[in-house]
Amino acid sequence: MAKGAATQVKSDNGWLKVWLDGKLVRYTTAKVPILTHSLQYGSGIFEGMRSYDAEKGVAIFRLNEHVKRFFNTAKVYSMDLHYTQDRISKAIIDTVRANNLRSCYIRPYAFYNTDQIGVSAYGKDVSVFIAAIPFGAYFGEGREKGISCKISSWHRINSEILPVEAKASGNYINSIIANTEARKAGYDEAILMSTNGMVAEGPGENLFLVKENALVTPDKSADILIGITRDSIIKIAEEVGIDVDEREVHKEELYTADEVFFTGTAAEVTPIVNIDGIKIGKGKPGPITKLLQEKYSEIVAGKNEVFENWLTYVK
């Protein structure tokens, strides 16, 4: 194993299995050449979803929506995945099952399996892998206590330069530089502004504000990734009678909001209690954030009939 590699790829029973081009193989045997195109140029595409240890068994949250977004990203990049959406969905379920995983993070990934020098990828062979690893709270105790954020000096990529709604590896170098800047300055996470000067999102999270008991969230014009958790929170808010306004958000609105929180597959619902050293609301997770967090936990645990169809059980 390479130095610094994650240890989560080992379970009590040994190395986890990953799905690679149709076969489940041991993690350490799934290898790529160091000159792999997608490693050199960031040309891979991916998804991120979770399974939860729900009441009626292990369940993948919004599997269809994630697989659809994976195929849409491939389409934008003219990447031929050679598989149907049903086949990939089945492979995702098989990977979770083969590893006896309960609460885990699932990473489908497609990459150009060529070790050429040169950027042209058109028509090159594409490989697909699916990895699944045990996973808990992305921000650790921050999920309950709240986290601090720094408004990044880096702006979110815009859709004149790259397709922002596609989950391509290359996009994430923008996320990484913003996150690194924030972490170096002692914050937990970054918030990026759009190139139009409006609030966009976190490096891997969408953002919501609570203002006078209603939700406000940046709209598409801020070049955000349209998150599936974002969509879930909007639908949950509607269900519990909280208004949601999708619109442009000015930076100063963040500082004066009653509550601010992130959403994302990894982040789930994470309160933000401090931005640029300014206390948000009372400086602790607020009641609406907590309510939505609770509802979200209930849904992913299969304890909410209204949104039961968001779960795909791993049988």
Cβ at position 10, least distance to ligand PLP in Å = 25
Quick one: how far is CA 103 from the chain centroid? Answer: 15
Comparing CB distances to ligand PLP, the nearer of 206 and 312 is 206
Positions in 142-181 near ligand PLP (CB under 6 A): 175
Contact letters for ligand PLP, residues 230-259 (x by CB under 6 A) = x-----------------------------
Helix 228-240 to helix 63-76 angle (10° resolution) is 140
Comparing CB distances to ligand PLP, the nearer of 61 and 114 is 61
Comparing CB distances to ligand PLP, the nearer of 101 and 228 is 228
Binding of ligand PLP at residue 312 (CB under 6 A)? no
Among 225, 273, 280, 299, binds ligand PLP (CB under 6 A): 225
Among 146, 218, 264, 302, binds ligand PLP (CB under 6 A): 264
Q: Which residues are catalytic?
A: 167
Applying CB under 6 A, the residues found at the interface with ligand PLP are 48, 175, 201, 204-206, 225, 227-230, 263-265
